[in-house]
Amino acid sequence: MKVFLSEDRNEEIKDKHALKATDLVVLTDIRDVLKVFHHAQELLSSERTPTLSLVLPSYEILIQILRAFLTHIRFRHLHFAIRAAMAKLDIYVESARQNACYGISMFLNPTSKQSWMSKHWPAIEVDSCMQKLKDAMLAYVKAERDASGLSSDTLSTPSSHPTPVPTAHDRAMSNLGSGFRGLEDLYASLNRAEDDIDSPLPSAPSTTEDQDLLDSRKVDSEILRYTADPVAIGTGSSFDLLEWWHVHRYMYPLLWRVARDVLPAQASSVPCERVFSSSKQTTTQQRNSLDPSLVEKLQIMKFGLKADSLDFSADWIRRAEDMVGGAEHLDEA
**142-197: pLDDT as tens digits:** 888 888 764 333 333 333 444 444 444 344 334 433 443 444 454 455 455 445 44
User: Within the chain, which residues score under 50 in pLDDT?
Assistant: 150-184, 186-187, 190, 193-194, 196-197, 199, 327, 329-330, 333
Residue closest to 143 by CA, chosen among 157, 164, 132: 157
- The helix/strand/coil state of 171 is helix
What is the DSSP secondary-structure string of 279-329? HTTTS-GGGTT--HHHHHHHHHHHHHHHTTSS-TTTTTSPPHHHHTTTHHH
- What's the rounded Cα separation, in Å, for the pair 4 and 140? 66
Task: Say if CB 270 and CB 41 are below 8 A apart.
Answer: yes
Domain positions in the chain are 1-98, 122-146+167-193+209-264, 266-279+292-308
Distance separating alpha carbons of residues 242 and 229, to the nearest angstrom:
18
Measured N-to-C along each axis, helices 21-44 and 79-97 cross at an angle, to the nearest 10 degrees, of 10
Q: What amino acid occupies position 313?
A: S
Picking from 36, 43, 37, the residue whose alpha carbon sits closest to that of residue 268 is: 43
Q: What angle is formed at CA 135 by the lines to CA 200 and CA 143, rounded to 5 degrees?
A: 65
- Which runs of consecutive H residues, i.e. helices, occur in the chain? 2-6, 11-17, 21-44, 55-70, 79-97, 100-107, 115-120, 123-148, 168-178, 180-195, 208-228, 241-247, 253-262, 270-279, 292-306, 320-323, 327-332
User: Residue 292 has what pLDDT?
Assistant: 85
pLDDT of residue 301: 82
CB neighbour class for 30 (10 Å; exposed up to 12, middle 13-18, buried from 19):
middle
